[in-house]
Amino acid sequence: MDYLRHPRYNVTATEANLYDLEGNVIAKVPLPRVFYTPIRPDLIKRAYLSALTKRIQPQGRDPMAGKRTSAECWGVGYGVSRVPRVKGEHHPAANRAAFVTMAVGGRRAHAPTSEKIVAERINKKERRLAIMSAIAATAVPFFVKSRGHVFDEERTSLPIVVRDDLEKVKRTKEMVEVLKNLGLYADVERAKNGIKIRAGKGKMRGRRYKKPKSLLIVYLNNDGIVHAARNLPGVDVVNIRNVSVLHLAPGAKPARLTVWSESAFRMLEELF
């Protein structure tokens, strides 16, 4: 990964543009030091898999499943295999094999167990460094474009910081206008046009559609922004205190197109 040391793949600016809701540059804000963190795709992937596997609910079978039976082996001399068989001369299942795994009607071999360790562990410092690295990647156009995001580079520069009026937007219609002014709404349309019906049985299990990821909006105070943006296709809204690799690098691929409110952007200096 020596190529990542090239300036093209790292943040070299010292300030970021501050935009208003009309898309105009109104000031400059200093870039928090977290944006100078080396970008580590390998570490980001590790932290992503750790966070993803910790969300999996353990599931297994009853350890006694298939063993609650009075079936016994007949022994030799009957011309049948020596497996436990259900008792009862007039029972519908009489003479049927039970308990053993290799017989029809037997218990399941090597059934799933809830004791299995599914979660992948990661050190605290590694996880923290992965989040910092994922944040730094959001300011590099090369990585953001490699994820497939669409934005107007001539109108908007990374990282995208918007004044705190963004947190007070309460209606989706107003949020759409703000994103159009910032040159970001094309990415929302990309996600909308990319919604597909899932192949396979997942359609019957509550996940019928596959939806691409679009913008990530990071805020500090929720004055209406969550309700305004959460219904846009592919858009996620998260508080700066809860941001994780799952938000910043969906699919373990870094550099999601991210919009920061001014307060959240300044909070980065305290958190990291």
Tens of pLDDT, residue by residue over 75-134, are: 999 898 999 999 887 667 678 899 999 998 899 999 999 999 999 999 999 999 999 999
Q: What residues form DSSP beta bridges with 98?
A: none
What does the pLDDT read at residue 257?
97
**Nearest Cα residue to 45 out of 129, 117, 141, 118:** 129
Rounded Cα gap, residues 151 and 141, in angstroms? 10
- Burial (Cβ within 10 Å: 0-12, 13-18, ≥19) of residue 188: buried
- Percent pLDDT > 90 in the chain is 85
Say yes or no to pLDDT of 221 above 70: yes
> Which backbone phi and psi does 36 adopt, to 5 degrees?
-95, 10
What is the predicted pLDDT for the residue at 99?
Answer: 94
Residue 7 has pLDDT above 60, yes or no: no
Query: How crowded is residue 4: how many other Cβ atoms within 10 Å of its Cβ?
Result: 15
Contact indicator for 178, 166 with CB cutoff of 8 Å: yes
The Cβ of residue 26 has, within 10 Å, a number of other Cβ atoms equal to: 11
Lowest mean pLDDT across 6-15, 56-65, 247-256: 6-15
* Strand-pair partners of 238: 218
Task: Sketch the domain layout of the chain as residue ranges.
Answer: 2-56+120-271, 83-117
Dist. CA 249–CA 256, nearest whole Å: 6
Fold of 2-56+120-271: Ribosomal Protein L4; Chain: A; (3.40.1370)
Mean residue pLDDT of the chain comes to 92
The single residue listed with the structure tokens 């999996």 is 56
- Rounded to whole angstroms, the Cα distance separating 189 from 16 reads 26
| 246 pLDDT above the threshold of 70 | yes
Distance CA(156)–CA(187), nearest Å, equals 13
237-240 contacts, C-beta under 8 A, 24 or more apart? 239/264, 240/264, 240/267, 240/268, 240/271
Backbone angles phi, psi at 219, to 5 degrees: -130, 170
**Per-residue pLDDT for 2 more than 60?**
no
Q: Residues 255, 146: contact at Cβ < 8 Å?
A: yes
In whole angstroms, how far apart are CA 96 and each of 3, 68, 92, 111?
66, 15, 9, 22
| pLDDT(1) > 90 | no
Residue 146 tokens read as 């490699």
Task: Give CA–CA dist 32/43, Å, rounded.
Answer: 21
pLDDT of 5 reads: 55
Q: Which residues of 229-245 are buried (b: 16+ CB within 10 A; e: fewer)?
A: beebbbbbbbebeebeb
- Please list, in sequence order, all residues whose beta carbon lies within 8 angstroms of the beta carbon of residue 173, skipping any fewer than 6 positions away: none
pLDDT in tens, 11-57: 777 899 999 999 999 999 999 999 999 999 999 999 999 999 999 99
Please list the alpha-helical segments (H only) found in 37-149.
41-53, 124-137, 141-146
pLDDT bracket for residue 8 (50, 70, 90): low
What confidence score (pLDDT) does residue 3 get? 47
